[in-house]
Amino acid sequence: MTTAPEKSDGYRWVIVAAGAFMGCIAIGSIFSLPVFLQPMSAATGWSRTAISLAMTFNFLAMGVASFGWGMMMDRFGPRIVLLTGSCVLGLGLVLASRSSSVEEFQFCYGVLVGVGGGAIFAPLMATVTGWFDRHRSLAVSLVSAGMGVAPMTVAPIAAMLVSTYDWRFAQLLIGIAVWVALLPAAFLVRRAPALSGATARRAAESPMTVRAALTSPQFAVLAGTFFLCCATHSGPLFHTVSYAITCGLSVTAAVSIYSVEGLSGLAGRIAFGLLGDRFGAKRTFVSGLLLQAAAVGCYFFAREQLEFYSVAMVFGFAYAGVMPLYAVLMRENFPLSIIGTVVGAASMASSLGMALGPLAGGLIFDRYGSYGRLYIVSVLLGLGAAVIMLTFKPAAPREISGGPDLGRLAAK
């Protein structure tokens, strides 16, 4: 007869699969906006800066909401958070497709879609870390890999739709698809077994409070690194499609660069997960940050399709590979009972960084007629992230609950 622990061990991979699927659909729908950028600007007369500002609002709303969703997850569990967030995400996309002014679009896509998206990424990552003591980096990386394949799935579908229909109908279909896909999948996600009695055990589980966690040097370093890392790649992620088009590539070829980033990112997430389990999250993290900065700089010199593909492979591998390691380091340094709040707070810092790139790229292009300065600034931000991460020192193991392995990998 199968015991309860054995059932839990098997079900944790169901959580990973559900998380990967939900992340793919949610992140893919949010990041479909770069595909719409040029068609929307041509059809409505709205400037690229104004449309890009919606993505900036999106990241800001996602960051603030992630903190709130994380606290709700710690209290009520992940399922209700994922269901509510999926409803809001789909609603925001549907309403954005009906917007009659750029301000209305900025609110619907920026605020509503951002709030809904905030309920997906951070809660999923926090939930998965609670289901694993061994192979945690790999498990989180597999969930993140689902998010990474979004450019290979949702982006080409969005490009096909916007090439066949007008941007409004294409975005409406994506919003409806979000409801159809995410709501059933959310029912597969549940609390980690270790938290089945968390409400009664929370005070006894660890001396670390939320306030102590959020004011700790470990959180400060991770949040600062997260901010700069996301500021590094958000601009290139959002504007490289448009940059490639200005270099003479067709829309289809430009969007395929986005897909190459996603494909290499899939490999990067899995590779960095395995490396993190073997060599330690910090060591792997710093290496990835340096590789990301170098790849961003190479975009400055890309002009031909093959050159874009070559850079996209390295850039996608690096930027996507390091992303899951944030959640791993959070779990290795903070108690499980407050992990949703901590990961949500870190995601807020990352969203602030992500908010810079779309707006900065739009302003740079509208002022100078090229994206060159965007990539130069991004390189400097990437190097800054690596320098900050080098100062990271793990928390004392006695301050962390959840198993004897915690803090071991972070110390490497």
The secondary structure of 336-403 as a DSSP string is: GGGHHHHHHHHHHHHHHHHHHHHHHHHHHHHHHSSSHHHHHHHHHHHHHHHHHHTT--PPPGGG--S-
Is residue 32, in this structure, part of any structural domain at all? Answer: yes
d(CA 24, CA 154): 8
Nearest to 240 by CA among 168, 309, 139: 309
What is the spatial distance between Cα 355 and Cα 102, in angstroms, rounded to a whole number?
A: 18
Interatomic CA distance for residues 18 and 184, integer angstroms: 10
Q: Which two tokens stand for residue 203?
A: 């005070």
* pLDDT at residue 58, rounded to an integer: 87
Supply the pLDDT for residue 238: 80
Phi, psi (deg, nearest 5) at residue 406: -70, 135
Question: One-letter amino acid identity for 29?
Answer: S
Residue 366 placed within a domain: yes
- Return d(Cα 136, Cα 339) in angstroms, integer: 14
Residue written as token pair 């009659």 = 100
264 is a domain residue = yes
Residue 241 belongs to a domain: yes
Round to whole Å and give the CA distance between 189 and 200.
22
Give pLDDT tens digits along the chain (412 positions).
444 444 556 788 889 899 989 988 998 888 888 788 888 888 888 887 788 888 888 888 988 898 889 889 888 889 999 999 999 999 999 999 999 899 999 999 999 999 999 898 888 888 888 887 777 777 887 887 777 677 677 878 888 888 888 899 999 999 999 999 999 999 999 887 766 554 445 444 456 788 888 899 999 999 999 999 999 998 888 888 888 888 888 877 887 887 788 788 878 888 887 887 778 778 888 999 999 999 999 999 988 989 999 999 999 899 888 887 887 788 888 888 888 888 888 888 888 888 788 778 888 888 888 888 999 999 999 999 999 999 998 876 655 554 444 334 334 4
Number of domains within the chain: 1
The verdict on residue 225 lying in a domain is: yes
Contact between 66 and 348 under an 8 Å Cβ cutoff? The reply is: yes
101: which residues sit within 8 A by CB, 6+ positions away? none
What's the DSSP call for residue 3? Answer: -
Give, for 326, the enclosing helix (H) or strand (E).
helix 305-333
H/E/C letters for each residue in 271-289?
A: HHHHHHHHHCHHHHHHHHH
Q: Is there a domain that residue 410 lies in?
A: no
**Where in the sequence is the domain holding 315, given as residue range(s)?**
10-191+208-395
What confidence score (pLDDT) does residue 51 get? 87
* Residues listed for the chain: 412
403 lies in some domain: no
CATH code for the domain in which residue 65 is found:
1.20.1250.20
* Pick from 50, 59, 106, 36: nearest CA to 366: 50
Has residue 49 been placed in a domain?
Answer: yes
In 127-233, which ranges are E strands?
Answer: none
Strand, helix or coil at 140? helix
Q: Which of 335, 14, 281, 280 is nearest to 143 (CA)?
A: 14
> Burial letters for 226-238: b for 16+ Cβ neighbours within 10 Å, e otherwise?
bbbbbbbbbbbbb
